[in-house]
Amino acid sequence: MLRRAGKYTGVFRITLMNNLAYIQDVALNSIFMLVVIFVFVALWKTTYSVTGEQSLGGFTLQQTIWYLVMTETITMSSPRITTRIDAEVKGGDLAYSLNRPYSYVGFQYASFMGEAAVRFFINLAVGGLVAGLSVGFPAGGALEAAQATASRVTGATGAVGVAGVAGTAHLLAVVSASALTILMAMALYFTSMMALGLLAFWVEDATALFLVYERSMWILGGLLLPLSLFPAAIRRVAEVLPFRFIINGPAQLAVKYAAGDFWRVLAGQATWLAVTVVVLALVYRAGVKRVNINGG
């Protein structure tokens, strides 16, 4: 079991090192992240200023911007594997991996995560810097919230020591919950996109399908707008789809952590992951039967 996992850890490590070797290119690619967050800051500063509200859909300006940093980081860091898989199926490269001592899907997942890991931290750093300089860093807010809670509990106004401990514990809970739900979100993204990419076994060109799926995920998953700002009817539709567990769930937890929400998001992710893994396995098995190997 460990030896089997070791193969994929190796693939992960090699992809990671490969991406780190071209870190300048990855960093240059994150210029777009900077632009996107900058534009969001301009849009939402204007929106909050025009409405005169402190909170919209339960989000302050700072929370909205940091929510968008998280949603953009998750989506921009996820490699576009549909086109890669599509090309490998059509070009016949997939056939080469069939007699190798690893699972094609496992190999792709390890490679996907290796690439995503580098992109994730760079995008988060770039987006976070723009957001932090524009609307402040959220850790301060978490500490203040914990301090206020501690003050209420102890009845003292200067309960800094208790607040410090509570703030650190809160921060740890936010970071671990975010890390876990982001990893689950990436897995969910990978399994669904991989299954779509494998449709190349049957469909001549699935570009339209990829775009529709991805853009639906962006809109209904809350990439550009928190779900709480959606009209009620559309929010109800978004809530029954898996997209919110890829984008909205982890991002909202990172900026507005609540233990109850964490367990709800995790349960939703686990359920949908189980569904997409089964679908992926079925699609892969059916697809591989259609491979024709003619020597070479």
Partner 1 sequence: MEVRRRGGLRGTFGLISAYAKLNLSMALEYRVSFASQVIGMFINDGLWLVFWALYFTRFPVVKGWQQQDIFMLWAVLTLGYGVMMGLFGNASRLSFLILQGQLDYYLVLPKDALIHSLLGRMYFTAWGDGLFGLVVFALFGHPTPLRVVVYLAVSLLGGLALISTVIIVNSLTFFLGSTQVLSGQLYNTVIHFATYPMDIFQGVVKVLLYTAIPVFFVSALPVAVLRQPTWPALGLLAASSFALATLAYAMFHRGLRRYESGNLVNLQS
Number of Cβ within a 10 Å radius of residue 260: 7
Q: How far apart are CA 295 and CA 290, in angstroms?
A: 16
Residue 183 or residue 219: which is nearer to partner 1 going by CB?
219
* Closest approach of partner 1 to the CB of residue 143, in Å: 31
From start to end of the chain, where are the E strands? 55-56, 59-60
Query: Binder to partner 1 among 67, 104, 230, 245 (CB under 8 A)?
Result: 230
Tokens of 37: 């967050």
277 contacts partner 1 (rule: CB under 8 A):
no
CB of 274 closer than 8 Å to CB of 245:
no
Query: Binder to partner 1 among 139, 171, 183, 229 (CB under 8 A)?
Result: 229
User: For partner 1, what does the binding mask look like between residues 93 and 132, x meaning CB under 8 A?
Assistant: ----------------------------------------
Kindly write down the DSSP assignment for every residue of 56-105, as one continuous string.
Answer: ETTEEHHHHHHHHHHHHHHHHHS--HHHHHHHHHHHTHHHHHHTSSS-HH
Site for partner 1 in 184-213 (CB under 8 A): 204-212
* Coil/strand/helix, residue 243: helix
Residue 175 or residue 211: which is nearer to partner 1 going by CB?
211
Number of Cβ within a 10 Å radius of residue 263: 11
* Closest approach of partner 1 to the CB of residue 144, in Å: 28
Stretch binding partner 1 (CB under 8 A), from 133-141, 145-153, 155-163, 230-238: 230-238
CB of 185 closer than 8 Å to CB of 247:
yes
CB-based contacts of 201, cutoff 8 Å, min separation 6: 89, 286, 287, 290
Site for partner 1 in 21-60 (CB under 8 A): 25, 28-29, 31-32, 35-36, 38-39, 42-43, 45-47, 50-51, 56-57
Residue 134 or residue 151: which is nearer to partner 1 going by CB?
134
Query: Binder to partner 1 among 199, 219, 241, 279 (CB under 8 A)?
Result: 219
Residue 237 or residue 258: which is nearer to partner 1 going by CB?
237
Q: How far apart are CA 238 and CA 250, in angstroms?
A: 15
Footprint on this chain of partner 1 (rule: CB under 8 A): 25, 28-29, 31-32, 35-36, 38-39, 42-43, 45-47, 50-51, 56-57, 204-212, 215-216, 218-219, 224-225, 229-231, 234
